Each structure stands twice: as C-alpha cells, then as structure tokens.
Structure 1
Amino acid sequence: MTVTEQVHSRVLKVPASAWTPAVETGGEIRDGAWVAELTGDVLHGWPKGMRLIVRKERPHPGAQLRLTDADGMRLTCFATNTSGRPIAELELRHRLRARAEDRIRAARATGLRNLPLHRTAQNRIWLEIVQIALDLLAWMPMLALTGKARLWEPRRLRLRLFTTAGQLVTTGRRRILRLARHWPWSTHITAALDRLALLPNPG
C-alpha cells in the first residue's frame, strides 16, 4: 500500500513498545527492522477483519529517503485480512511475495516486454527460452553467489559475470577456465564455480 499522509501521521504516534522486531525465514531477527499494526481511525471505512501492518527499516547506505519516511527509517505498509497470526510472520510472508514480484519485473526486463516474432508458434519457443533463462537467474544467485552479489539485478549480473572475457583450455584431460586478472569480479566467478562443484549430484 501507499504510505498516505494519514498512515504516516499514525505511524508517528505508535509507541516504541508497540514495535516488534521483524524476522527472517529461519526465525532470526532481521537487523534494523521493526513491524507494528495500525488500528483506530486509520481503518475507518475498511471492511471488517482487515489489518494494516507497517514496517520501518534502516535504509541501506546511499538510499534516498522519501517524504513519507520517518526518523531516518524507510516505511512500507500492507493490508491483509489474515487473522490469528503474529504481525512479524505476516510481514515476512508479504516480503517473500515481494520477491516474486521482483522476478516478474526481471522477466519483463529480460525478454517478456514484447514478443519479437510474428507467429504464435515462434513466440511460444521464444517464451520457453526466456523462462529457462529466468529459472537460471533465479537459482544461480541462491546456489552460487554470496553476500550482496545475491541481490544483483539481471542487468548487473550480465555486466559483471555473464559477459566476462575468458578462455577455456583443455590440458592433461582437464579443462581450465582462464579469466582476465584485471576483471574486478573474477573472484566472484571462481567462488561461484567452486560452490556449484560442491553441490550434490542429482543423478
């Protein structure tokens, strides 16, 4: 939901004791993030059973604050009619859904904004290829990358990893991938390959 002026003014009145630490999927506390449920006049005219959950979180370094943020904290909110569940759990569920929306946005940027071919059968093949690429973009960072590299957008992955110049050399029955030493992200590539090599063989 959009943080309206009414929601913003109500957030400023939430006491410190009403804020609950946000959590991650493993149950650990999410650093620098808290959630609260807004009640009262802000829900006037809403359907019965609706809940308004707000999260405040320290923005990452360099992020620009918005007019609707408060006390140096980034504010986001969402509405739900789910009852009987802790607000931290509801906020985590909503945050995980937002990742799915990010995948949809990445899909549009990767090749689903326009269908490039003339016939339906041709575009069907194009969609299959794009879907395979999106699967790789979704799983590769989770399995092979660590730290901030896991959050890189497709465009950044393409610039830093996928277009890296390299040479595949076969010697002594071994294949060796040689990367340019001056490329700043060569270590990311070699570390990713090492992590993938350690994964169990599905066969």
Structure 2
Amino acid sequence: MLDAFSVYDRLKHFFPEIEAFRVPLEEAYNGQSTIGKQIDLANAIYECVGKNAWANTAEAPVDSKIETAKITAILNGAKAFFEEHDPDYYEDIFSALITPAGRILGNRSTSGDISHGHLPSKKELSPAHAAMSLNLALSFAAYYFHILELSSGKMNYDEYAGEEGFNEWLNTKGDRIGGASYSWLLYQHDYDAYEAFFDEFQSIADE
C-alpha cells in the first residue's frame, strides 16, 4: 500500500525544495487542506519526478530545456525511462498515471512556486479531482523510485518495510538524523553497509 509520507521522504532526498510541502501534505491527509494547495502539491511532485526521469534517458536535452518545459512535455520526455527500465511496462498503466497531470493540473509550470514554498489557490477543480491528482502524483513518484532502483540493481527499500521487516530491525542499530531513519540513511549514503546488514539479518532469520 502507498505510504504518502514515505514517498515524501524519498522525494525530499532527491529534491530538497520539496521540503516546503511537508505541511501541505500533512494538511491534505488530515482533511485540512484547500483544493488549490493539493493541486499545486500534486503538480510539484509530477514535475520533480518527471524532470529527474527525463534527465535519466539517453535522448535527454540539456538541463535548461528540461527545467523550463511544460508538465506535459516533461512527462512525455520521462516516458522513455520507464519504457527502457520497466520489464513489465504497460502503456495504459503509464498513461493512467500521467494523464491527470496534463488534463487536470494543466500545463502551468510551478517551478517558481516550489523554490519559494508558495502555494497559490486554484478553485476551479473539485475536491475529488484534487484528491485523485495528489494520490496519483504520489503513486507516480513511488513507481519511479521502484524502477530507478530496479535499473541500478539495488535492493528496493520499500520491500523491506513493516513492523518485523529488515528496515525496522536495522533502525534499532542507529539513531534518526533530521527525521530520517537509520535504515534510510544507510540506504542512501552507505548502500554497501545496508547490503551487509541485510546479509546479517538473513543469517539471523535462518538460525
């Protein structure tokens, strides 16, 4: 199941500017957020992930072109990354994830809003559309990180979550820093150690 805040933590590591949207995300899931804030948060997630995926394709243009592109162009450019690296890629599923970015969110770039942590209001969409857009954006981000890890041959961090999973076991061996768990810090900054601890965890489980 999708854990919005787990996805947010991973987004924050790749895109520090997303940190400005922690409070809007909490408000959205507590039912206290405006429609406009939810839409802009969804748009920001689509943009950040789409730009990163596009930049990781063989035919990616220069960074300045990616940065100034509209959301539909960004996601069209990102499509090649998923086609190449997802062994189970399905056009219909990908389209279902990104279509709202063009048809519901529109073609407006929010890069300026992200950098200043500003969330302008958009009242023309319904609460249902806003909630759907935000959840699809988070699903798109989770999908991207899964395929990114798959393409690099790395373990999928999310597969080892859970109360008795490897990540929780590893968290007992170190402290949180800045809100990030010890397992996540190792996964991002010392992956070799993360794998070594996983071997230890498996050997204990086999005893």
Q: Normalising by structure 2, what TM-score?
A: 0.31
Higher RCO (CA 8 Å, separation ≥ 6 residues):
2
Higher helix share: 2
Higher strand share: 1
Q: Normalising by structure 1, what TM-score?
A: 0.31
